[in-house]
Structure 1
């Protein structure tokens, strides 16, 4: 018999079929664990360049301390600083109108309101206009108060104007570099932050897969030894039985022995047995 046929014969005897079944199951589990582990390593290697890129981008965008309303706020502040003189002049004119005693708008409205009140007492048709005049008086008073406060807060600050321009230029540079508006830049920063975190999870997964593979290899080794022992035992039994048969037919010097060898298949060592 050829070696394969001899092993096939042994694998049908005694406890060998059970041991062989256990070995085959362990081998399949080890192969599966090995495949998952090596695939994860390959994916990790191919993803390293991506990780380096998004780590750089995330740091750049995080260091920039972006927030959604900043661009509009900078535009408004630069406009105020750049047009300081015009704003001061126009707002000051409003304040002047409000402070013009005797002939000011508010004084005229007060007089008009008094006349409308008297007319309303005589004819209710003037009630709507009296209400509108009262509302206009309140609105104008609010306007004059705001204009006065606004003028007090106006300050020409060349260094602040330059800082705003530089910051605005930084935002525009980032928007141009990433071809995204500010709001979407912030979303992208958060998205790649989550992606970076997932790489840490991937490292942990690789460690778990490696541990699983090592456990599967250890289990496979135990099953291989059990199969080997069962084959040797049945081989010895078969050899002795054949020797007895040879003696019975007049061949007293016939001797058989079991030989075992290790094979390598898909990275795993397999022990085989044969008679000789």
Structure 2
């Protein structure tokens, strides 16, 4: 249950701290007093979207905080532990809205808004005024059926099989798309493979070409220089080697007289050996030089061809080889598309059997819940002034021109939510057949259907708190009293916080709060005041008679309260 709410600098609220009690907590007040502002602050605590416009003028930030008693809750304990939040049986949820964004806290530990919303969804069901419209939209009916606990494991199994089928269908679509694309490119790919195959590419060929062409291109120059070296070393005239030999002889003689020449003698000997080796190599090299203009031209043509291919494909030789292998693989796949498609289609047929089985289980569970819900809502509506009401939950297969599974030989369209079309039908008058809810139900009837649904779901889910923002839309008088009694009965299962304008509903309160606007220091602020028993009577009387509370109104209010047996 919500033990307390603290709100600061939120819209018209400067600062507000209110304690709630177990049972039925009712808030009343004139239109515009700020009741919906309090609900808005609660919404903010529960992780709903918040706008910076809610920050009170002149304030730095808006704060909304709730202390909620949760008891032992294994799901919440795991969720909070996984998000590094200390778990306790009493949680403090806080939201701060600043101009530059919002922050959320649980037990003073920062959390992201998604976590705050997950926690809020486990603790509070907040029925806003727009929920009536949600009930009238048929696409929301399936969600209301699926809120029942027994549907969840069946739906989880279905979704597993649905995802498997969806993945296979995507794989098939991708393969067929690729087949179409490859068919369009097959002729081009075949030409490219033939062209690159004919080129007989080698990743190192360019480097080898450059080296060989360089030698052929400079053969004549190399021969001339090698001949010159040989002539200098071993010419008919006085050669370099003869001169070095003469120097060597002289140095030997001089070294015998002056030892310092030994060093130079050693260096000349080394030079003679090195130069002789160079001369000998030059002579041998001349025999290896190839004068082959035709070979050079052939190499130039090959180089030109490689340059052409690289420019055409905008790839280097290694990249061209990789591309060639890739295209060959693509062509190989293209030749085997029929086989691959057949394999996937076989898997799809097998998966369709699994999907159909899980879809039928979900369909049957929804039928079961629909029958149960119809019975329970009819029983509740009879307590709410619709004694001859009929309510039916229509669960039917979504037959279509094509679908992933077939039921009775007809294709059925499936989605992540199942393969069913779920719609609510109602009849509020004796002898009339039920028709779609949005076609015949009045605002008051929709309110009572919604209250019936909420009552049933509250008992199903054991939610600690339910909040109603004017559930009494479109009803009054005797019906309002019955709605109030149903809300009081519901408060035996969970705490109820409700806003109402109806005295018949307000009279049922375990605790009554008055919300009002007051002027303080030239500013308008919202206040909420818990009422004493006497103030409770006067507030109910005020709802009956207006600002001027008559003795008759007070007497009627007391009678209304006593008739409900509300005061404990």
Q: What TM-score do the two structures reach when normalised by structure 2? A: 0.34
Q: CA deviation at 1:13?
A: 8.8
Q: Distance in 2 between matches of 1:93 and 1:12?
A: 102
Could you give the per-residue CA deviations for residues 197-252 of structure 1, whole angstroms, max 9, x where no partner exists? 9969x999x9798777666543221101223445567789999xxxxxxxxxxxxx
Q: CA deviation at 1:64?
A: 3.2
Distance 1:22 1:137, change over 3 A: same
Which is further off, 156-165 or 18-27? 18-27
Shift of the 260–169 alpha-carbon distance from structure 1 to 2, 3 Å rule, reads closer
Structure 2 partner of 1:94: 229
Return closer, same or farther for 1:271/1:144 CA change in 2, 3 Å cut-off. Answer: same
Deviation at 1:147, TM superposition (A): 1.8
Partner of 2:202: 65
Question: Could you give the per-residue CA deviations for residues 152-172 of structure 1, whole angstroms, max 9, x where no partner exists?
Answer: 223433432332332233344
Name the CA distance, whole Å, in 1 between partners of 2:258 and 2:190.
Answer: 76
Which whole-Å deviations, capped at 9, do the CAs of 1:166-211 have from their partners, x for residues lacking one? 223334434544567xxxx2342355367659969x999x979877
RMSD: 5.4
Q: Which residue of 2 aligns with 1:162?
A: 297
More helix per residue: 1 or 2?
A: 1
User: 1:115 matched to which residue of 2?
Assistant: 250
- Tell whether 2:320 aligns with 1:189: yes
How many aligned positions are there? Answer: 253
Q: Partners of 1:169 and 1:6 in 2: how far apart?
A: 73
Once residues 44 and 69 of structure 1 are traced to their aligned partners in structure 2, the CA distance between those partners, rounded to angstroms, is: 38
**1:242: which partner in 2?**
none
Matches within 5 A, 1:176-215: 176-177=311-312, 185-189=316-320, 191-192=322-323
**2:167 paired with 1:33:** yes
> 1:263 aligned to 2:394?
no
Q: What is the CA-CA distance between 1:106 and the residue it aligns to?
A: 1.0
Q: Distance in 2 between matches of 1:58 and 1:119?
A: 77
CA contact (8 A) 2:213 2:296 kept: no
1:18-63 per-residue CA deviation (whole Å, 9 max, x = no partner) reads 5345334533x24652575367448846975899669937962862
Superposition pairs of residues 245-256 of structure 1, within 5 angstroms: none
Contact 2:151 2:366 in 1 (8 A): yes
Runs of at least 5 residues in structure 1 that lack an aligned partner in the other structure: 240-255
Please give the alpha-carbon distance, in whole angstroms, between the structure 2 residues aligned to 1:259 and 1:164: 80
Greater share of strand: 2
TM-score by length of 1: 0.61
Answer whether contact 2:396 2:422 (CA < 8 A) is retained: yes
Mark the CA change 1:194 to 1:156 in structure 2 (over 3 Å): closer, same or farther.
closer
Q: Is the 8 A contact 1:30 1:213 kept in 2?
A: no
Q: Does 1:148 align with 2:283?
A: yes
Which protein has greater RCO, CA pairs closer than 8 Å, 6+ apart? 1
In the alignment, the residues of structure 1 paired with residue 141 and residue 196 of structure 2 have an alpha-carbon distance, to the nearest angstrom, of 69
Corresponding residue for 2:265?
Answer: 130
Check the 8 A contact 1:58/1:189 in 2, yes or no.
Answer: no
Moved more, 45-54 or 116-125: 45-54
Whole-Å separation in 1 of the counterparts to 2:303 and 2:189: 25
Provide the C-alpha distance between the structure 2 equivalents of 1:238 and 1:159, rounded to a whole number of angstroms.
96
> Is 1:104–2:235 an aligned residue pair?
no
Which string of whole-angstrom CA distances, capped at 9 and with x for unpartnered residues, describes residues 84-140 of structure 1?
A: xx5444433433343336832212211211222332333233234223312221122
Query: Judging changes above 3 Å, is the alpha-carbon distance between structure 1 residues 21 and 102 closer, same or farther for their aligned structure 2 residues?
Result: closer
Distance in 1 between residues matched to 2:238 and 2:144, nearest whole Å? 123
Match for residue 250 of structure 1? none
SS at match of 1:263: coil
